[in-house]
Each structure stands twice: as structure tokens, then as C-alpha cells.
Amino acid sequence: MTSQNNTAVIVGTFCFLGIVFGFAAFMAAKQTSERNQYYQQSSLDAERAKFPTKLVKRGPAPDGDPQAPSIKPIFYNSGGKKLKAWLIFPHKRGKSPAVLFAHGGYSVGAGDIAAVRPFVDAGFVVMVPSVRGENGNPGNFELCFGEIDDLKAALNYLAKLPQVDPHMLFAAGHSLGATNVMLLAESDGRLKKVAACGGYPNMAMGNNLYQEIIPFDQKGEHELELRAPALWVSHLTCPMLLCYGSNDQVEGEYKRLAQDMSNRPGAKGKTIIIEDIPGADHFQAITPAIPRMVTFFSQN
């Protein structure tokens, strides 16, 4: 074979590969566009309602209870389940704004009640609900799925309290609870604002940082994407503050995913504020984040 023929073969091969890779890139872009259109046009609430999550691990939340709160719990109903929650009231008369606080970890402890004190001192009624599979509650741990239904039920309870202004409802959360309130804000239009510290914006992307606690079939269609707030950002119903500790590698990854979420097509016109909590890791960040949340909720 002559060098001229060799050159022709090489050029032809590269042209063929260029066509193949170009077509693959086109199809990938087309699929991404179609998925983005699906996320924007479909309702997260409706998609969750018709999707039966497939649990491969059944049982309560992963770890044991921390030190129990010293105040007596109340009970709210979620889909026939009687679930515990804790209420703290400010020392004032009349109706007050209210915060639904979704705790970090896997059960409500005394530390969660202490953590929300700045909200109460600022005049907010605070409800700290435990959800299915926590604090001795019935139900299975589902990781950011059925728990959203429980938070909606808790918000129903909170809104009906005589001490609460039902038009001034807010939600805040830490860690796993932060991810849950991000999803809540995309499926419940009653919230004025939401604030999350250490939330996971997109467990459907890359290395799943919740890997060790996942109770569902990860290979199941829609399992991950229905638990990923970033994908449903077009349905965000209120302004959202996202706080991340600056001294933590995992928090850095969460923040990167949050920035990606804020740049998605569906985020256009939405208010998403992303802030660092200086010198704090994932667990330390909530203490300095809460006063920032109080300020955020108090602003018009």
C-alpha cells in the first residue's frame, strides 16, 4: 500500500470516528435537553405521587436516638402514621410567623431543640418534626422520599395552630433535613422562604455522597432523580438560602452542586442565595447559619 493510500485510510478513519462521536454527542445533548424539559414541565409533587419507591432495606433510620428532648412531644398525622414533633413558642401574644425545622441526622434530639432557639428569640413559632422511622415513629426510612410527605403534613399541623400566621410559614433544615426542605420548597407553595445548611442538591449526579445509607434500589428508574432538588429547581416556590461550611471537602462538593443548580435553565428568575459559613465543617456550620437564616426570614 502506498503512503498516499495510507493517508487516505487514516483520513477516512478519522472522518468516520468524527461522525460517530459527533452523532453520539448530538444524541447525548438531545437526551439532556429532553430530560431538562421533562423536569421543567412535570410537577415534582405529581411525579412523586405516582412513583412507588422500591426499598431494598426496610426499617427505621440508620442510627440510634441522641439525647431525647426534655420537652414533651406532640403528635401529627401523616398518611395514617402518628408521628412525633416538638413545638417551641415565643413569649408574645397574637399570631406569629413560624418555622418548620428539619433536623440533621436521623432523629430529633435535645441539641436540635437548643439549636432553634434563635428563631424563637426572634419571635417565630418553631416546629421540629420527626418523620417516619425516627424517634420510635412507625414507617421505614426512605431517604428524602416519603419524608417529604411527612414534612408537608407537619406544615399542615403548624399552619393550623391558633398562635401561627398561616401566611408567614418558613422552613429551615440541616444536613439530611436541609435536602428534605429543598425538596419541600419545590412541592409546596405555602412557604415564604426556605433556608438549608449542608443540603445535598443532586444525588443523581456522580459519586453519591449518601451511598452508605441508601435504602432504595439505586438502579430503579427515577429513584435518584426524584430525590435531587437541583433537577426540579424550576418548581422552586420561594426564595432559598443555601449555607455551606467552608472548612469541609464534602461541603465544597455540595456547594459546587448548588452553584450548578442555580445555573440550570429552570433556575432562571428564581432567588437562590449561596453562602459560605467561614471556618466551619458540615456539623459545625448549623450554629452560625441559624442567625443568618433568622435575618433572611426577617427581611422583606
Residue 21 has pLDDT above 50, yes or no: no
If pLDDT is split at 50, 70 and 90, which confidence band does 28 have? very low
Among the ranges given (65-79, 122-136, 230-244), the one the predictor scored with the smallest mean pLDDT: 65-79
Strands of 56-212 (E only): list them.
74-78, 81-88, 96-102, 125-129, 164-174, 191-197
**Of the segments 5-14, 155-164, 198-207, 214-223, which one has the largest average pLDDT value?**
155-164
The 10s digit of each residue's pLDDT in 36-47 is 566 767 889 999
Residue 26 has pLDDT above 50, yes or no: no
Residue 123 has pLDDT above 90, yes or no: yes
Determine, yes or no, domain membership for 76.
Answer: yes
Determine, yes or no, domain membership for 34.
Answer: no
Distance CA 186, CA 183 (A): 5
Determine, yes or no, domain membership for 14.
Answer: no
**What is the tally of structural domains in the chain?**
1
Contact 112, 68 (CB under 8 A): no
Determine, yes or no, domain membership for 36.
Answer: no
- DSSP for residue 216: B
Distance CA 100, CA 160 (A): 13
Half-sphere exposure of 127 (CA within 13 A, CB side): 30
Determine, yes or no, domain membership for 95.
Answer: yes
Determine, yes or no, domain membership for 243.
Answer: yes
Determine, yes or no, domain membership for 24.
Answer: no
pTM of the model: 0.87
pLDDT of residue 63: 78
Mean pLDDT (whole number) for 210-222: 90
Determine, yes or no, domain membership for 23.
Answer: no
Burial class (CB in 10 A: 0-12, 13-18, 19+), 94: exposed
If pLDDT is split at 50, 70 and 90, which confidence band does 11 have? low
pLDDT of residue 25: 39
Q: Where are the alpha helices (DSSP H) in 128-248?
A: 146-159, 176-184
Locate cell 418548581: which residue?
235
Write out the residue range of the structural domain in which residue 260 sits: 42-298
Task: Residue 87: give its domain's CATH number.
Answer: 3.40.50.1820
